[in-house]
Chains A and B, each alone.
Chain A
Amino acid sequence: MISTESRPRLAAKARLRFDRKSSRYMLLYPERGLVLNPTAADVLQRCDGLRTVGSIVEELAQQYGHEVPAVEREVMTFLQTMTDRGLVLAEV
């Protein structure tokens, strides 16, 4: 399970790519890809295995001017989905 202490990183099979056609980031992995909304892209770009989920949430809350608890809920839900799909690895 993802916690605020986790240090998420992209799985070896997953790679971010900026898509000129849609002006969105895509997360590409074997045979598939996800077109990311801007928030999802901001989160995944920070999944470097160094930052904790807590620090990613703080950065984004500051960047968007939103409350930390709301951003935390959104980020945790998203990262849990991504780890369940094997696209993000979360080590504590």
Chain B
Amino acid sequence: MSEPARPYTLVAELTYRCPLRCVYCSNPLDYGRHRDELDTETWLRVLGEAEDLGVVQLNLTGGEPLVRDDLETIIAEARRLDLYTNLITSGIPLRRERLARFRELGLDNVQISIQDTDAAGSDRIAGRRSFDRKLAIAGWVKELGFPLTLNTVLHRENLDHVADIIALAEQLGADRLELANTQYLGWALPNRAALLPTQAQLTRAREVAAEARRRLRGKMEVLFVTPDYYTDLPKACMDGWGRRFIVLSPAGLVLPCHAAHTLPGLHFDSVRERPLREIWADSAGFNAFRGEGWMPEPCRSCDRRETDFGGCRCQAFHLTGNAAATDPTCHLSPDHGLIETARLTAAAAPPAPFIYRTARRAG
């Protein structure tokens, strides 16, 4: 295989620990097994190795990155390396002094999630009282001069509130609003019946977002990410496997996406054992789905194969049992019926009870 493309973004999952219990958490179901977190020294080394490989963007995420008490040291090193650093956080637990310190150390952007437009709806998704606190913290972010990204994960319980979410983002002075529909992996998959919206909900919300995008042009960037289940064409998941992104799991596994280590039969290397450059170029897991050699029909001869790179491998595995299958969200997939059935169920079914994220689940 030729020299792999250059990675631009390192997604640093600093921990799987989190005080919230969101029902669509993208961490693996068995995250409770992965307790052995990388130490500060290793993170600092990896940031340098990543920058040397070409990485310019750093997302500090988790779990909840704030639970690590070495976040200050990591931010300072990222700034020294001139990485654009984005803290992706629930805002819990955070004191104003600590946020001010992050600003001094050179953190570039803060992304805060809110789950809905009122405390009852938001706290119900998060499994913990947190909404009012999040609004206060979003206020601090702006007062301290940071750019603010507000992120709301959308699903059947809040899709009809998109206009109110946009109004709240404007009120908070957000520079960027991510309206990201739930993707049905991690904890969202067992909660799919409770979360999957109807086509009508989605169409309305998309129109509201498009109108806001026009109105707020130049002031607030409004992104609307459609769930794969309603696109009929797969997404270029992670811009293609092992092309632009490196995800580093809390324990040090180097992954092409945050769920790749839930795929059976793939070997991923740890930064504890090999330098990042070698892993990016040679790791069996990274090379498994690079390029087109792995593709089955109808992908292999499809005009879109360089557009979507075959879609999402995790979705393929978790729905069909085969990670190398065509992404079932594609209307050409022999397994597309699984998606159509899920949509019909969403349209017909009464809401199912939630399964909250917990470390006690074995997977």
Binds A, one of B192-200, B217-225, B275-283, B309-317: B217-225
B175 touches A13 (CB 8 A): yes
Binds B, one of A15-23, A43-51, A55-63, A66-74: A15-23
Residues of chain A with a CB closer than 8 A to B220's CB? 86
B8 touches A33 (CB 8 A): yes
User: Separation in Å of the A56 CB from the closest CB of chain B?
Assistant: 19
Q: Does A65 contact B (CB under 8 A)?
A: no
* Contact (A26, B176) CB under 8 Å given A21-B6, A31-B86, A86-B218: no
Cβ contacts A20-53/B at 8 Å (1 or 0 each) = 0100001011110100000000000000000000
User: Separation in Å of the B129 CB from the closest CB of chain A?
Assistant: 28
Chain A residues bordering chain B, tally (CB within 8 A) = 17
A13: contacting residue among B6, B56, B109, CB under 8 A:
B109
Q: Which residue of B lies closest to A20 (CB)?
A: B54
Q: Which residue of A lies closest to B145 (CB)?
A: A12
Q: Does A76 contact B (CB under 8 A)?
A: no
Q: Does B286 contact A (CB under 8 A)?
A: no
Q: Does B149 contact A (CB under 8 A)?
A: yes
Determine chain B's interface SS by DSSP, over half rule. loop
Residues of chain A with a CB closer than 8 A to B57's CB? 28, 31, 33
Q: Does B93 contact A (CB under 8 A)?
A: no
Cβ contacts B120-152/A at 8 Å (1 or 0 each) = 000000000000000000000000011101000
Cβ contacts B1-25/A at 8 Å (1 or 0 each) = 0000010110000000000000000
B176: contacting residue among A13, A19, A84, CB under 8 A:
A13
Residues of chain A with a CB closer than 8 A to B147's CB? 11-13, 30
Residues of chain A with a CB closer than 8 A to B217's CB? 84, 86
Residues of chain A with a CB closer than 8 A to B149's CB? 30
Residues of chain B with a CB closer than 8 A to A31's CB? 9, 57, 59, 86
Jot down 28 A-B pairs with beta carbons below 8 A, ordered by A. A12-B145, A12-B146, A13-B147, A13-B175, A13-B176, A15-B84, A17-B84, A19-B56, A21-B6, A21-B54, A26-B56, A28-B84, A29-B109, A30-B108, A30-B109, A30-B111, A30-B147, A30-B149, A31-B9, A31-B57, A33-B8, A33-B56, A33-B84, A83-B218, A84-B218, A86-B217, A86-B218, A86-B219
Known: A29-B84, A33-B8. 12 other contacts (CB 8 A): A11-B147, A12-B147, A12-B175, A13-B109, A15-B84, A19-B56, A21-B54, A28-B56, A28-B57, A29-B109, A30-B86, A33-B57
